[in-house]
Amino acid sequence: MISIRRYLIRTLAITLITISALSVIAAYLISEHELEEILDAQLSLEARVVTSFLPSSPDTQVYRALSRQLSQPDHPAQLNDDQLTGTTTQTPAGDLFHHEEKKMGLGFWNAQGRPLMIGPRWHATSAFPAPQEEGFRWVDYEGQRWRVFSLFDSNSQTWLRIGLQQRFHQSIVNRITINHLWPMLLLMPLALWLMMRAIRRGLIPIEQLSRQVNGRDQIDLSPIQLSVPRELGGLHRALNDFITRLGEALQKERRFTADAAHELRTPLAGLKIQLDNAVEGEAASLDKARIGIERLQRVVEQLLILARLDQRQQHNVEQVDPGLLVEDLAAELWPLAESRGQTLEIAGTTRAREAQCYVTANATEIGILIRNLLDNALRYTPDQGRVTVSLDKAPQGLQLIIRDTGPGIPEALLGAVTQRFRRASSQDIGGSGLGLSIAVALAERQHAELRLRNHESGGLEVRITWYD
């Protein structure tokens, strides 16, 4: 698994280096362009200044004075006297004012393009190309590239061309770029060090949060009390919410275990007593023991159902016909009703099937839901009583109504009987107090609503609604 710290350091270091490199490249390109503009303006200004001092008819003395000032050691200026007096001479070198002058050049040509005076380095094996039009140009000469400015002085009928080598321009740009680069290279380690410290400091809240969670045991489910940055607020709240839900689940599990142990203890104790009596020769105790085993079996089955519901396992859904399930389950429970002289009446299932009333749910869970409700109704309905089951298509959706003629539930307990192991009837009636809680949990899983109410004519009415 990748480390956030290493990822941030690597990413930010690459970003910093990339930005620095792009800054140097941008500085190089901008400097190159701006320097070219400055030097072009300088060439243009110098050319105009020089031509402004030329007389209307410059003679040999004028050009000789110019050539003397422009000559350099080992590179004298060339005066073409043939255009003036018929001879060609090289003027002795004057003082070299600056070594960078070696990279500059200047020359004069007459109106026909014949050289009058050519400065140093522009007359090696051949004369520098004569200007043909005014303006800036790039000119290749003796393996070097020159940036030149040409100007025609109409007063003296003379062409002036002044220029400098490209490498002069390039060397200045390189120096400017290097001067930008060195501070960046020197400050880069400091920037990386500060960046790593900032990242390490910024990740301290995560480490503190991890230590708080890691240092807890299974008993400590108190909320995490820690001041965290805004970016970790969501994680902090999610962890506290999870701890709260986990605490509720563990509390529910402990309560369920305690209630189940209490509920199982009574039938087991009674079963032991009945078996002891049977051993002593009391034959009727075997029938009582069988009833106790049936009750114990029912409690275990319902506990297993609750355990599966608490696990929130995924279930497959399909189109289910509740009417067909009601008929099958009623046929299964009919012997129980008949043994007590009860009437089990079913209405509306055929009509619902003809109207194609289906619900999208899990057939097994709906079967458990309806069976628990029917079993509850039959158990709490007295002998010779009646249980009525109807299936109707209401405006809000399909409704299943189960009504019995039992004692009902006290109004004060209607909202509490759906809790686990909560019973509202006489303890003489066999049951574990799990039937309605299972029914409520199954109804929620099937996205249905279960309601309880005491009927006006007596008994309990259970209504399940599957909304459209």
Structural domains of the chain, with CATH: 55-168 (3.30.450), 234-310 (1.10.287), 318-467 (3.30.565.10)
Confidence of residue 196 (pLDDT cuts 50, 70, 90): confident
pLDDT tier for residue 159 given thresholds of 50, 70 and 90: very high
**Cα-to-chain-centroid distance, residue 84:** 83
Q: Which two tokens stand for residue 292?
A: 């106790």
Q: What is the DSSP string of 78-138?
A: EEEGGGTTS-EEEPPP-----GGGGGEEEEEEETTS-EEEE-TTS-SSSPPPPP-SSEEEE
Q: What is the mean pLDDT of the chain?
A: 79
Alpha-carbon gap, residue 118 to 77, rounded angstroms: 6
Q: What is the pLDDT of residue 429?
A: 46
| pLDDT value at residue 162 | 92
Q: Are 136 and 40 in contact (CB under 8 A)?
A: yes
How many CB atoms sit inside 10 A of residue 430's CB?
13
Per DSSP, helices labelled H in 232-283 are 233-279
For residue 397, the surrounding DSSP H or E stretch is: strand 397-404
Q: Is the model more confident about 96 or about 367?
A: 367
pLDDT at 104: 84
CA distances to 77, 118, 142, 146, 148 from 115, in Å = 12, 7, 17, 18, 16
> What burial class does residue 323 get, using C-beta atoms within 10 Å of its C-beta: 0-12 exposed, 13-18 middle, 19+ buried?
buried
| 171: helix, strand or coil | helix
Q: pLDDT for 48-104, tens place per residue? A: 888 888 888 887 888 888 878 777 777 778 887 655 444 444 544 445 456 777 788
**Averaged pLDDT, 309-334:** 76
Round to whole Å and give the CA distance between 238 and 218. Answer: 18
Helix (H, G, I), strand (E, B) or coil at 216: coil
